Structure 1
Amino acid sequence: MPKAWPPTDEVNPITGAFLTDPLVAGALAYINQAVPAKYLSIAPSKYTSPCVAAYPTAAAQTNCYWPFNLCTRNADVPGAFLADISSCPNANDWGITYDDGPISANGVSDTTALLTALKTANVKSTFFIVGSNGIQHPELVSAADQAGHQIAGHTWTHYPLTSLTNEQIVAEFRYTEAMIYQAIGKLPTMFRPPCGDIDDRVRAIASALGYRAVIWTNTRDDTAADVTTQTAAASQQIEATIKTWFTPQPGFVSLQHDIDDFTTKIGIDTLSAIAAAGASFPLKPQPVGTCVNLPFYHGNNTVAPAVSSSSSAAAAAASSASMAAASTAAAAVSSAAAAPATATVNVIASPTATPTSATSSSSSGSSSSSSSGSSPAPGAGTTVNVQSGASALGVQVAGLAAAGLVAAAGLL
């Protein structure tokens, strides 16, 4: 656990002594060893305002910057990053998610009320927790976990990740991760970048720390968080739009929020409509991890939650011990990264755009192959077949997810 928690105001990025805590320093050392320099050297964007970053247009396609043209990485690149999740692969599966909470308002249009509505509708979901909110309401994080919902990370400050330094990105993950572990005794495998602000630098750092990015299906954002004038009419309009989703269709991942009473009530009303439809409801709402058939958490999911912070000496010792294990893992990851490998990027077009595609290579090799859909994260000792020209390359990798998190955690 960290020596102290960063501020909870969500106004500024993490700075100062919070970046030198062993929790962050140990992980950063691992990142610098395990992640290829070509990704770590991608220049940060410029923060403009909450949820807005000025990203160089010339680099946006190359670095697969999602807000630019909804670019996603749809295949794992061993030694580099894990594929994004932006939809559910099976028809009518609905990855139902809530961002930015938890919040508490005496059980009225808050996370507690949302949990009640989920139970009434017999729906399990994914909660993407903002660390600075979770540390104020760990009991709500625990309640969601105990109810069977998936807990995942949404950073500490909700700052656009591409505008941060490598060190700050690591800190966003590590403090949020520590908060979640303290609340439920589990280490998530997934995160959602605030506002979908992600590029290959963020993907690579997140993957090395054990996280797969979850975006959302472009047309399945309820837009409630974008409303500036929160009126009953605005709520009714959004809820009417959500009900247009209630039809058989390809699997998708939605974006909803429990950040305030306005956004949370829309989520509650959505669940009430699902419950009212009963057995005739055509979709199957479920956690993202369930719809893509990937685990919610790393390692032992039954570890008892921590109730107090460990001393800085203990944290440093844990970090040092785990970093020793990282050396072997990082060497395997680096070896895998050196092998020729390519991944096809499918660019999901906006309604008015023409679909395009792009291919990225994890090495200097010029051959490429096409693939689509999310691939399971490579685990320790897993053989990953990577297409290189006409031949398939069997690569033994330590696994970014397993190696990164265990090596740099200092939590267990």
Structure 2
Amino acid sequence: MIAALLSLLLVAAPAPAVAHAGCGGHELIVPRQMAAPTDVASQSQIKDPQQQCTPYQYPRIAAIQANYPTIWQTATIPAADTAARELFARINATVNEKLPNAGLKPAAGPPGLPNYDRSDPDCWWTWQGCSTPNPSLGIPADVVRIPEPNSLGMTVDDGPNCSQNAFYDFLREQNQKVSMYYIGSNVMIWPLQAMRGHQDGHEICVHTWSHQAMTSLTNEQVFAELYYTRQIIKDLMGFTSRCWRPPQGDVDNRVRLIAAGLNLTNILWIEDSNDWRANVAGSAVTPADVDRRYQGVIDQAKGGNYSTQGTILLSHQSTNYTMSTLMKWLPQLKAAFAHVVPVASGMNWTTPYAESNFTYPSFAQIIANQSASAPGSVSASGPSASVSIGGNNAAASGSVTGTASRSGAPSGSGAGSAASSSRAAGWRSSEVGTGGVVLAAVLAWAAL
């Protein structure tokens, strides 16, 4: 377990970098505060990255932790969770009926499956970017772009990151909302950081429990990876996400069917910053390569490539470097595109969560709000719609069911970026946790 945590826990290195710079680019020098944060407001005020990444105990997590899989291990359904087992049984029956011969893919991706049918019957995105499953399956196409012309759907994977305050502060200063794809294990470890994303008005989506190649997992593991990430978001923030993204885009029809049974819409991308590959041992990708990726997106926007429909860009908050790099390029992206918005707004999904009393700005509303200097936030109406910092209005684990896919999902989509979907052995641990990993933090959190 400790080995898995060491390879995957997201902790930004304390070395000086742009993401932790204050006004004028100077490093922020603050007294080390010893008091542990107790709410989002107190956690958000911490400027020292090392202090941000000091483990803390949050009462709501302590109360429900036993209901969840072990952090950073492949998720399975706990024996006592009968509601989840019943829901999985129904979804699994549908998968077996519609795809009786569906099998698992190797975690290494296509190189490990040389005899895979080149006609791609499984619509395996990792193979060649397939994002439109056979209509006979009754599941929607993946979302790979937003329809609004000259617009960018901004997405950030792998959060929450314990040292994200400077990054989130920057997004506030820019009055910029994005779509955040949260890893369930990270939410368990850093709940206050996770809740800040919602309080700041970002769209919150599922990015699995332990960040693995989803097509390599069994049906139960796929279900649990999605279900418990969705559930911890519900328990902490009071709403049920209906959007998800597979790590590395690794999805096929079997995984899509399971996700659809949980009412989750798959969000992929056209443009890939490739930021997570830079500064990684064994990777040939350099920061200069990442800069060229960002510049390429900007050049395409200025050249009119998105004049008829927008696009979606993949970035990460997995390390100090990835956050710093997005901070560097975001103003230029905003200058090149007419609008930079979260995917929900770009798709005009004004009720992106299962609870209809949580509302989100439409495309017209969010671009109008972007002209204001004060940061906006997600709104909600009704007695149970307020953000539940302590989880008071959260449903019990296993209480949420869903079988219908999101209405309004596009019937067709682009081919995606097949070139960015290549795999190599060990990619799961290389994308997440490339910052300095702190063993003391892992051990301290486990002891809380």
What is the TM-score of this pair, normalised by structure 2?
0.62
Q: How far apart, CA to CA, are the structure 1 residues paired with 2:418 and 2:68?
A: 39
1:267-302 CA distance string (max 9 Å, x none): 121224456x4xxx4331111111122232112422
For the residue of structure 2 that corresponds to 1:245, the secondary structure is helix
| Structure 1 residue 267 corresponds to structure 2 residue 326 | yes
Structure 1 residue runs of 5 or longer lacking an equivalent are 106-110, 334-342, 353-412
| Structure 1 residue 92 corresponds to structure 2 residue 111 | no
| Contact 2:238/2:391 (<8 A) preserved | no
| Contact 1:22/1:315 (<8 A) preserved | no
Q: 1:282 aligns with which of 313, 318, 337?
A: 337
Aligned to 2:70: 7
Amino acid at match of 1:147: D
| Aligned residues between the structures | 315
Aligned to 1:81: 139
Aligned to 1:64: 123
Q: How far apart, CA to CA, are the structure 2 residues paired with 1:120 and 1:181?
A: 28
Change in CA separation of 1:36 and 1:344 when aligned onto 2, cut-off 3 Å:
farther
Q: How far apart, CA to CA, are the structure 2 residues paired with 1:223 and 1:198?
A: 18
Structure 2 residue runs of 5 or longer lacking an equivalent are 1-63, 359-384, 406-410, 421-448
- 1:187 CA displacement: 0.7
| Structure 1 residue 38 corresponds to structure 2 residue 121 | no
Amino acid at match of 1:128: Y
- 1:35 CA displacement: 4.5
- 1:127 CA displacement: 0.2
- 1:73 CA displacement: 1.1
- 1:221 CA displacement: 0.6
Q: 2:78 aligns with which of 18, 26, 32?
A: 18
| Structure 1 residue 102 corresponds to structure 2 residue 165 | no
- 1:47 CA displacement: 2.4
**Within-5 A mapping of 1:317-332:** 319=399
Q: Which has the higher strand share?
A: 1
- 1:14 CA displacement: 2.2
Aligned to 2:227: 174
Amino acid at match of 1:200: N
Q: How far apart, CA to CA, are the structure 2 residues paired with 1:104 and 1:349?
A: 30
- 1:116 CA displacement: 1.4
Q: How far apart, CA to CA, are the structure 2 residues paired with 1:139 and 1:245?
A: 33
Q: How far apart, CA to CA, are the structure 1 residues paired with 2:89 and 2:118?
A: 27
Q: How far apart, CA to CA, are the structure 1 residues paired with 2:89 and 2:419?
A: 42
Q: How far apart, CA to CA, are the structure 2 residues paired with 1:61 and 1:6?
A: 33
1:170-217 CA distance string (max 9 Å, x none): 101111011111221111111001111000011111011100100110
Amino acid at match of 2:122: N
Q: 1:183 aligns with which of 236, 239, 242?
A: 236
Aligned to 2:32: none
| Contact 2:158/2:207 (<8 A) preserved | yes
- 1:66 CA displacement: 0.3
| Structure 1 residue 227 corresponds to structure 2 residue 278 | yes
Q: How far apart, CA to CA, are the structure 1 residues paired with 2:235 and 2:82?
A: 17
| Structure 1 residue 127 corresponds to structure 2 residue 183 | no
Q: How far apart, CA to CA, are the structure 1 residues paired with 2:212 and 2:111?
A: 9
| Contact 1:40/1:201 (<8 A) preserved | no
Q: Percent identity?
A: 25
| Contact 1:131/1:179 (<8 A) preserved | yes
- 1:245 CA displacement: 1.8
- 1:23 CA displacement: 4.9
Amino acid at match of 1:42: A
- 1:34 CA displacement: 4.4
Aligned to 2:361: none
Q: 1:150 aligns with which of 197, 203, 206?
A: 203
Aligned to 2:352: 296
**Within-5 A mapping of 1:231-270:** 234-246=286-298, 247=302, 248-250=304-306, 251-270=310-329
Change in CA separation of 1:347 and 1:235 when aligned onto 2, cut-off 3 Å:
closer
Change in CA separation of 1:182 and 1:292 when aligned onto 2, cut-off 3 Å:
same
Q: How far apart, CA to CA, are the structure 2 residues paired with 1:195 and 1:53?
A: 16
- 1:160 CA displacement: 0.7
Change in CA separation of 1:21 and 1:52 when aligned onto 2, cut-off 3 Å:
farther
- 1:96 CA displacement: 0.3
CA RMSD across the alignment: 3.5
For the residue of structure 2 that corresponds to 1:6, the secondary structure is coil
1:346-392 CA distance string (max 9 Å, x none): 6457589xxxxxxxxxxxxxxxxxxxxxxxxxxxxxxxxxxxxxxxx
Q: How far apart, CA to CA, are the structure 2 residues paired with 1:290 and 1:344?
A: 19
Amino acid at match of 1:289: A
What is the TM-score of this pair, normalised by structure 1?
0.67
- 1:135 CA displacement: 1.2
| Contact 1:23/1:315 (<8 A) preserved | no
1:241-268 CA distance string (max 9 Å, x none): 3133222432110100001111111112
Q: How far apart, CA to CA, are the structure 1 residues paired with 2:162 and 2:118?
A: 41
- 1:18 CA displacement: 2.7
Q: How far apart, CA to CA, are the structure 1 residues paired with 2:119 and 2:87?
A: 27
Q: How far apart, CA to CA, are the structure 1 residues paired with 2:159 and 2:100?
A: 30
Q: How far apart, CA to CA, are the structure 2 residues paired with 1:229 and 1:3?
A: 34
For the residue of structure 1 that corresponds to 2:71, the secondary structure is coil
For the residue of structure 2 that corresponds to 1:238, the secondary structure is helix
| Contact 2:105/2:215 (<8 A) preserved | yes
1:15-63 CA distance string (max 9 Å, x none): 4x636623531220221344461236411112238x9874851177111
| Contact 2:144/2:269 (<8 A) preserved | yes
Q: How far apart, CA to CA, are the structure 2 residues paired with 1:171 and 1:53?
A: 25
Q: How far apart, CA to CA, are the structure 1 residues paired with 2:414 and 2:221?
A: 29
Change in CA separation of 1:237 and 1:61 when aligned onto 2, cut-off 3 Å:
closer
Aligned to 2:368: none
Q: How far apart, CA to CA, are the structure 2 residues paired with 1:176 and 1:117?
A: 26
